[in-house]
Amino acid sequence: MAQGTGRYTLIGFGEDLDLRPLFFVEDIQEARICSVCGVVPKKNAFLPCRHVLCEACYEQCVQISDHCVLDGEACPTPELHWREFSLESLMKRR
């Protein structure tokens, strides 16, 4: 998802919002967007290399390797941080 367009695809927020293109007046922070597939997930993994992956992309990647698929840096599980984007926070956005 290119910054500045205001168009995002959400995943994990419920059937009314998931996988439908939604438009926001304000851009969503890059730290909320999966670096691989571009969706805005409810739950995302912050890798030590600073890339952000949705749960689905992370699960696919760890089956292949314990390295970031984007830059090849090691991503040991203890250094991984999961964060959730609450529906309440999402609904406060314009």
The pLDDT-based confidence of 75 (bands split at 50, 70, 90) is confident
Q: At residue 1, does pLDDT exceed 50?
A: no
Check: pTM over 0.75? Answer yes or no: yes
**pLDDT single digits (tens) 33-62:** 999 999 999 999 999 999 999 999 999 988
Choose which CATH entry (3.40.50.300, 3.40.50.10210, 3.30.1490.480, 3.30.40.10) describes domain 7-91: 3.30.40.10
Give strand ranges (E) for the chain.
7-11, 21-23, 40-41, 43-46, 52-54, 81-84
pLDDT at 40: 96
Residue 34 CA, distance from chain mean position = 3
Domain boundaries, the chain: 7-91
Q: Residue 89 has which token pair?
A: 């926070």
Label residue 19 by pLDDT band (50, 70, 90): very high
Residue 5 has pLDDT above 80, yes or no: no
